[in-house]
Amino acid sequence: LGFTTVDGVGQEGLESAYNAYLAGEDGRAIVETDRKGNALAYGVEEYIPALDGYDLVLTTDSIVQSFLVSALTEAQQINSAISAQGIVLNAKTGEILAVATAPGYDPNSPSRDDLDLLRSLARNRVATDAYEPGSTFKVLTLASALDSGAINTNFGIHCPGYHMVNGEKIRCWRSGGHGSQNLQQVVNNSCNPAFMQMAINMGVETFYDYLYAFGLGRSTASGLPGESGGILTHEKYVRLNNLARIGFGQSVAVTPLQLAVAVAAVVNGGKLMQPYVIDKVVAAGGEIIEDNEPTVIRQVISEETSAMVRQLLEGAVNEG
């Protein structure tokens, strides 16, 4: 949400980004005066009434938001973390149902004693901060490899605890390795060498086509202020070793929002949805000024691939 100045001018968040919608217009009186500024008894007067600002109706759900805030606060405290952030997204529509960062602050009464601290607390890290996603990124690698035909359901690999790429030993997270595995076991075990091999099978050009199609490397244009585009090294600079690491979520940086939108596309039938937080803009009299609806940006993977990946991911939850 952000916050305003004591005079109601938006300073951060949606309050700032949509200040022109929210602020309205001051009323004013025009009075005919003499040269000393005194109103003329029979002069012309005109009163222009103030105009109320518009209301923003958000896609967020207050109950979902409260659960998310509680979970993040607990996670941050248990792990003694600097911050924790999360997002709840409707995978079918792209509506942002909840978004939060812990520790938080009261937007109605932000502490202005320490401005650096206030800026840090007010920053929506879900949209602004890029990080190496690690194993969560493997969902995108798996979907891309299956959809492109680089692997099929018969894919298998032997993991000795590392994978040799251009003479470099890149290790699995499990030092002893996972041994021989089929595709479901690869997903259950989150085996790094298997996802390296998927990326290598695709090659830079094909894998990057999918990463761009999933929306990586650019802002999602969600309406959340300060959104960054993450970090995706230009493909002409990517070597085989880099490609292998990208396959299991290293050497690439995404925002939590980007990853949520991309994973939603993997499981919702393959459609990349436009994420949005503004449901509608409403005038004081109830007139709808702007009304946002779910928007499909593009079909990234086929519905068949999406169904296959859903089944594999469900297997990982039940068995992995």
Residue 23 near residue 284 (C-beta atoms within 8 A): no
Residue appearing with tokens 């990946």? 309
Residue appearing with tokens 């999933």? 214
Rounded to an integer, what distance in angstroms lies between the CA atom of residue 84 and that of residue 79?
A: 9
Residue 320 near residue 189 (C-beta atoms within 8 A): yes
3-class secondary-structure state, position 27: coil
Nearest one of 150, 236, 258, 233 to 195, comparing CA atoms: 150
Q: Which of 135, 219, 251, 302 is catalytic?
A: 135
**What does the DSSP 8-state code read for residue 4?**
B
Rg (CA), the chain: 26
Distant-in-sequence, close-in-space partners of 185: CB < 8 Å, separation ≥ 6: 178, 191
Rounded to an integer, what distance in angstroms lies between the CA atom of residue 105 and that of residue 110?
A: 6
- Whether 135 is catalytic: yes
Tokens of 221: 């244009």
Phi, psi at 70, each rounded to 5°:
-60, -45
Rounded to an integer, what distance in angstroms lies between the CA atom of residue 80 and that of residue 91?
A: 31
Q: Peptide bond preceding 103: is omega within 30 degrees of 0, i.e. cis?
A: yes
Rounded to an integer, what distance in angstroms lies between the CA atom of residue 253 and that of residue 259?
A: 10
Kind plus residue range of the DSSP H or E element containing 257: helix 256-267
Tokens of 296: 């499909």
- Known catalytic residues? 135
